[in-house]
Copies of this chain bind each other. A is one copy, B any other.
Amino acid sequence: MRRKAVILLSGGIDSSTTLFIARDLGFELYALTIQYGQRHLLELESATKVAKQAGVAEHKTIEVDLRSFGGSALTGEVDVPKKSGTLRTEGDIPVTYVPARNTVFLSLALSWAEALQARHIFIGANVIDYSGYPDCRPEFIKSFEKLANVATKAGVEGYRFSIQAPLIEKSKSEIIKLGKALGLDFSLTHSCYDPEKDGKACGICASCLIRLKGFEEAGFVDPISYMESKEGF
């Protein structure tokens, strides 16, 4: 029997590449998309397409309305910064930070993993481009892994959960090269924080800027459509 893995999948570059890494490692893939009150549903469509391309055993979407807790540009209470060229606010934490988001995400992945008897959980967390997010740091991943082995039957029944964040110290261009090498079709992925109604990426939000810079550095053309010209970048 193949080993099972639960992979958190948003449909963005990092989580999609992570899914393809787990696939390359030979896991039976269980992709989990968490709908947490985003402004748009385009990234859920991307997740569905990427999951299909990867040939997952199951793709589950679960809703949890983190928006109701408030406090983040990504959940609708603060404007997404444009043309800032950075994700930072005046302090060290980006306004796009969603409080405890990855803790909630990994908890849900853990719940499914325990029900599935999967021992491996993959998350596309990355410290380089998102170093202001406390829950994208290696020490967070290690701390969650410790918790997972106390919080579940693992501690009682004598197995262990492994939380894997294979991209955590990679640059965006390294991630894009890796995804390419593993066969990921990046035209299916989605990054924009604030896309146009026709689905085109804005090209000027922090997430688009990071994506475009990553493709440029990797030496590839980004296959998705952008609304604005890249002149501002």
Interface residues of A (CB under 8 A from B): 60, 62-66, 68-71, 91-93, 97-104, 106-108, 110-112, 114-115, 134-135, 137, 139-140, 143-144, 146-148, 150-157
Contact = CB atoms under 8 A, between A and B. Distances in A.
Given A134-B153, A150-B137, A151-B134, A114 B143 contact: no
Given A107-B107, A111-B69, A146-B143, A152 B62 contact: no
12 contacts: A66-B111, A92-B156, A93-B153, A97-B153, A100-B110, A103-B107, A134-B150, A134-B154, A140-B147, A143-B147, A143-B151, A144-B147
A156 B143 contact: no
Contacts of A137: 150
Instruction: Name, among A64, A137, A140, the residue most crowded by chain B CB atoms within 10 Å (CB to CB).
Output: A64
Contacts of A153: 93, 97, 99, 134
Contact of A115 (B70, B104, B152): B70
A184 to B, nearest CB: 27
Instruction: Name, among A64, A68, A103, the residue most crowded by chain B CB atoms within 10 Å (CB to CB).
Output: A103
B102 A104 contact: no
Contacts of A143: 146-147, 150-151
Contacts of A107: 100, 103-104, 106-107
A91 to B, nearest CB: 8
Contacts of A91: 157
Nearest to A98: B111
Contacts of A144: 147, 151
Contacts of A146: 143, 146-147
A69 B38 CA distance: 22
A91 B62 CA distance: 30
